[in-house]
């Protein structure tokens, strides 16, 4: 137990340092001290990536990736099935220079960089909010990048796509988003599901300009959720006609047991709170909050899909929700920024609830991703060290 507590403190310390470095780096960079600011931003991204690179037997899929790496090093087939080209490229490159550290480091570095870029776009240059979003991302979603590495890197690329569409919907951003989805697909094929959620960004742009459009938007969201509820029927109708390749093994039990992971339900809380603020009659209408809330609600739809795909007590397929969880994280960061406008007990309660959600998700995801206790390659055989 002591080792686990120390590990959680190590993770949390790295998260705080990384977010602070990013915050002061962005601030310094904006004040025309480009070199110093750039170095601080780089350190803010490198710290958690280096932590991911030097880990040993940390993360549920650690052994699988190390096996793929060793297969390539020893001239064998990488895996029993084909791996997406960009992910395979990272593994092949790392095996070529014989550094497993490089493989884990690059996967995490690209993931962190893409999320920072996405948060910067979505926060419209607000350095404080960008750093806040990055900190919440580290607490909630970073542990997943130590487990489902390909899914996480894919989700980070998708988040840039979503950020562009949320910033402004036009032909240019739509084309850029499609290109980014295709790139994400080359890291992990589940990125193709993102096409199902693209219309939500169009409707959010159209229906969040005025408060009286809220009912129309809720209708669209309801249709999405109903669509996800019908997945078992759709699948059974398509089964035998359309093959789902390597993912057929996940779908064979579809509809037999409906179970949404409790962690997903916990992440519904910021969405519900956001809608409560939007529909509060006396409150001033916040267009940015409305857009974030409506787009984040698609997370509920994919959680319903996860419910159909997940066996009770075996929430492995909750990894699909990683695709849209960053949207909820952005919503949470926005809400953190607005808590300061509250007064008295409301401010205190909101602050405590937000802190509790972040802490609970931090501990839950570190456990879920099998990232506790944290161990490094330097505590193990030297053959695992960088460059060997």
pLDDT of residue 229: 74
Q: What are the extents of the domains in the chain?
A: 2-384
Residue 55, SS3 per DSSP: strand
pLDDT of residue 110: 98
pLDDT of residue 217: 73
Say whether pLDDT at 386 is over 70.
no
pLDDT of residue 387: 44
pLDDT of residue 312: 46
Say whether pLDDT at 369 is over 70.
yes
Determine the distance from the C-alpha atom of residue 98 to the mean position of all C-alpha atoms in its chain, rounded to a whole number.
Answer: 29
Q: Which residues have CB under 8 Å from 333's CB, separation 6+?
A: 119, 123, 129, 132, 133, 136
Which one, of 374, 302, 288, lies nearest residue 62 by Cα?
Answer: 374
- DSSP structure string for 144-196: HHTTSHHHHHHHHHHHHHHHHHHH--SHHHHHHHHHHHHHHHTT-GGGGGGGG
Q: Describe the crossing of helices 298-309 and 287-296 by its angle, rounded to 10 degrees.
A: 10
How far is the C-alpha of 264 from the C-alpha of 284, rounded, in Å?
29
Which residue in this structure is represented by tokens 């695992």? 384
Residue 253, SS3 per DSSP: coil
How far is the C-alpha of 209 from the C-alpha of 279, rounded, in Å?
14
pLDDT of residue 388: 41
**Bridge partners, residue 311, by sequence:** 314
Which one, of 78, 99, 75, 76, lies nearest residue 87 by Cα?
Answer: 78
Average pLDDT over residues 164-175: 93
Contact in structure between 228 and 305 (CB atoms under 8 Å): yes
How far is the C-alpha of 366 from the C-alpha of 5, rounded, in Å?
11
Looking at 297-381, list the stretches that DSSP marks H as alpha helix, in order from N- to C-terminal side.
298-309, 325-339, 344-368
| pLDDT per position as a tens digit, 177-187 | 999 999 999 99
Q: Which residues have CB under 8 Å from 61's CB, separation 6+?
A: 147, 148, 149
Give backbone dihedrals phi and psi of 311, rounded to 5 degrees, phi first.
-80, 150
Residue 211 CB neighbours (<10 A): 15
Kindly state the tokens that stand for 76. 């064998």
Q: Which DSSP state fits 259?
A: -
pLDDT of residue 89: 97
Is the C-alpha dihedral spanning 375, 379, 381, 383 positive or negative? positive
How far is the C-alpha of 271 from the C-alpha of 221, rounded, in Å?
13
- Residue, of 237 and 207, whose pLDDT is higher: 207
**Bridge partners, residue 55, by sequence:** 376
pLDDT of residue 382: 43
pLDDT of residue 310: 65
pLDDT of residue 31: 83
**Bridge partners, residue 242, by sequence:** 239
Mean confidence (pLDDT) of the chain: 87
Which one, of 158, 113, 85, lies nearest residue 22 by Cα?
Answer: 113
Residues in the chain: 388
pLDDT of residue 332: 94
Q: What do you get for the CA distance between the two ends of the chain, in Å? A: 32
Q: How confident is the model at residue 239 (pLDDT cuts 50, 70, 90)?
A: low
């Amino acid at each position: 137990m002591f080792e686990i507590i120390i590990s959680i403190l190590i993770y949390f310390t790295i998260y705080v340092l990384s977010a602070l470095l990013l915050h002061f780096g962005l601030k310094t960079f904006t004040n025309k001290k480009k070199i110093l600011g750039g170095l601080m931003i780089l350190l803010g991204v490198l710290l958690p990536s280096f932590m991911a690179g030097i880990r040993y037997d940390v993360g549920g899929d650690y052994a699988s990736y190390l096996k793929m790496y060793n297969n390539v090093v020893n001239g064998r087939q990488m895996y029993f099935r084909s791996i997406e080209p960009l992910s395979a490229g990272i593994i092949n490159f790392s095996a070529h220079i014989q550094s497993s550290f490089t493989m884990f480091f690059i996967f995490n570095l690209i993931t962190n960089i893409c999320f920072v870029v996405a948060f910067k776009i979505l926060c419209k240059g607000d350095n404080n909010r960008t750093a806040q979003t990055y900190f919440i991302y580290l607490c909630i979603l970073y542990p997943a990048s130590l487990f489902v590495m390909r899914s996480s890197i894919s989700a980070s690329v998708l988040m840039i796509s979503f950020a562009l569409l949320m910033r402004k919907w036009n032909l240019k951003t739509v084309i850029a988003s499609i290109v980014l989805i295709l790139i994400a697909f080359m890291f992990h094929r589940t990125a193709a599901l993102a096409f199902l959620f693209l219309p939500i960004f169009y409707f959010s742009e159209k229906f969040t300009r005025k408060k009286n459009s809220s009912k129309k938007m809720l209708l669209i969201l309801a249709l999405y959720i109903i669509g996800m509820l019908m997945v078992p029927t759709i699948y059974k109708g398509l089964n035998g006609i359309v093959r789902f390749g390597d993912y057929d093994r996940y779908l064979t039990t579809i509809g037999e047991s409906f179970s949404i992971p409790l962690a997903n339900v916990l992440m519904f809380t910021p969405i519900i709170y956001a809608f409560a603020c939007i529909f509060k009659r006396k409150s001033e209408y916040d267009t940015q909050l409305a857009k974030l809330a409506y787009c984040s609600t698609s997370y509920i739809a994919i959680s319903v899909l996860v419910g159909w795909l997940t066996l009770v007590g075996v929430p492995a397929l909750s990894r699909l929700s990683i695709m849209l969880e960053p949207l909820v994280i952005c919503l949470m960061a926005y809400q953190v920024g607005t808590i300061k406008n509250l007064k008295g007990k409301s401010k205190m309660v909101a602050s405590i609830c937000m802190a509790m959600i972040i802490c609970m998700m931090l501990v839950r995801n570190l456990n879920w991703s099998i990232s506790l206790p944290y161990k490094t390659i330097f505590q193990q055989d030297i053959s695992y060290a960088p460059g060997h």
